[in-house]
A and B are shown apart, each in its own frame.
Chain A
């Protein structure tokens, strides 16, 4: 599905990585590990099509793609460090807006069910500013399930989540992979995924 060849990145004068090669098929998960500052986030942003590699090529289903390529934008669900929430809006409004932005339409009931599933059912109408960091992350989990995209790219998805939240995330990722989707995640938490490979930065 996604293939990268000789990908390299540089921050300032430091080469973060070069010669990154891998191929990810449908129904596979890839866990990216490495110490802080080794380029995990840079790699994930590159794969999502947000930043330009110094050199190297990316292919989506054998077709070469560049940053912001419509092919990537139509098939990837990217969740970065920041949960993209607006403090002034409620949990439900935030979720609706984020799902709509991907071109999907969503009913009120679907939104509520999704928030129920991440244990935010009682907090639908609470402004996001009054939610805890973990609860804000959970809105992101609900968002994952509502956007039907084949490849999930998740940057540190377990941050601020409690034990139950991490279990829920693991379940979601596992069922996504079982359904034939793929996941690329940067995390140090072992999430018990099927069909998982790991990629480690030195």
Chain B
């Protein structure tokens, strides 16, 4: 019993086949969608700016205090900004049936997810990195500290998107409270990134070599890059079942 000639007989794709096409399909589609709803994008970035700006307003204008607090505040704001858009990472695709089609595509689901995560980082993580120098003016951070802060954010924010994707996939299909559960699930996972990221800026003040913190952040990034897409696709398949 063979497939009729009018239809291409497709055997199974080899492992990794179409991964690049899948990645670029998801990345380009999500970026296009983000561009169509720019207002939503603006809200996330404004949220980050406002959270960072609130702290100096709430305390005595003590130069030393701000200097100490600055990197930590920027990092915590980065975590919250990343979290804010996470609940929508898969929820819309889940609701309109696109996620089903993605799971049934001949392309590897993990590559599609990696593309979506890359788009999430470009729209939420990258602005956070680029705005950091501007926002650190309020905390009177010196140029060297800003450089280290940006480097840390550059390595750390993709990890936030990757780990967040696992949480977003695990909370799919929850009727209500998905957002708060997502925060409870994901924020503890963010803790190591927060610690090493903020510590790298403190390190230069104490004259400690910052490369060890960067190495740990980099290791975290590699680990998340390898593991997170697979964990996320497993969670999505469970959600679709």
Report the count of interface residues on A (CB-CB < 8 A): 44
Q: State the CA gap A197–B159 with chains docked (Å).
A: 52
Decide if B13 touches A70 in the complex (CB within 8 Å).
Answer: yes
Decide if A26 touches B3 in the complex (CB within 8 Å).
Answer: yes
A22 adjacent to chain B (CB < 8 Å): no
Question: What's the minimum C-beta distance from A138 to chain B, rounded to whole angstroms?
Answer: 16
Q: Which of these binds chain A: B100-108, B143-151, B206-214? A: B100-108
B4 adjacent to chain A (CB < 8 Å): yes
Within 8 A of B (CB), among A7-32: 25-27
Question: What's the minimum C-beta distance from A3 to chain B, rounded to whole angstroms?
Answer: 9
B10 adjacent to chain A (CB < 8 Å): yes
Decide if A103 touches B106 in the complex (CB within 8 Å).
Answer: yes
A86 adjacent to chain B (CB < 8 Å): yes
Q: Which of these binds chain A: B32-40, B47-55, B183-191, B193-201? A: B32-40
Chain A residues with CB under 8 A of B3? 1, 26, 61, 75, 150
Chain A residues with CB under 8 A of B11? 71, 74
Interface of A is mostly: loop
* With A74-B106, A86-B33: A103-B18 Cβ-Cβ less than 8 Å: yes
Q: How large is the interface on B (under 10, 10 to 19, 20 to 34, 35 or more residues)?
A: 35 or more
* With A51-B240, A88-B37, A97-B29: A70-B12 Cβ-Cβ less than 8 Å: yes
B226 adjacent to chain A (CB < 8 Å): no
B95 adjacent to chain A (CB < 8 Å): yes
A76 adjacent to chain B (CB < 8 Å): yes
A194 adjacent to chain B (CB < 8 Å): no
Decide if B102 touches A101 in the complex (CB within 8 Å).
Answer: yes
Interface of B is mostly: loop
Cβ proximity bits A94-120 to B, threshold 8 Å, 1 near / 0 not = 000110111100000000000000000
Within 8 A of A (CB), among B130-178: none
Chain B residues with CB under 8 A of A76? 104
- Partner of B103 from A62, A68, A75, A100 at Cβ < 8 Å: A68
* With A148-B8, A150-B3, A150-B7: A89-B32 Cβ-Cβ less than 8 Å: yes
Question: Closest chain B residue to A96 by CB distance?
Answer: B29
Decide if B13 touches A179 in the complex (CB within 8 Å).
Answer: no
* With A73-B106, A82-B96, A103-B18: A98-B101 Cβ-Cβ less than 8 Å: yes
Chain A residues with CB under 8 A of B32? 89, 93
Given contacts A26-B2, A50-B104, A150-B3, 18 further A-B contacts (CB under 8 A): A27-B4, A50-B241, A67-B237, A69-B12, A70-B12, A71-B11, A73-B105, A74-B11, A78-B100, A81-B97, A82-B96, A86-B96, A88-B37, A89-B33, A100-B25, A102-B106, A150-B4, A180-B5
Interface residues of A (CB under 8 A from B): 1, 25-27, 48-52, 61-62, 67-76, 78, 80-86, 88-89, 93, 97-98, 100-103, 148-150, 179-181
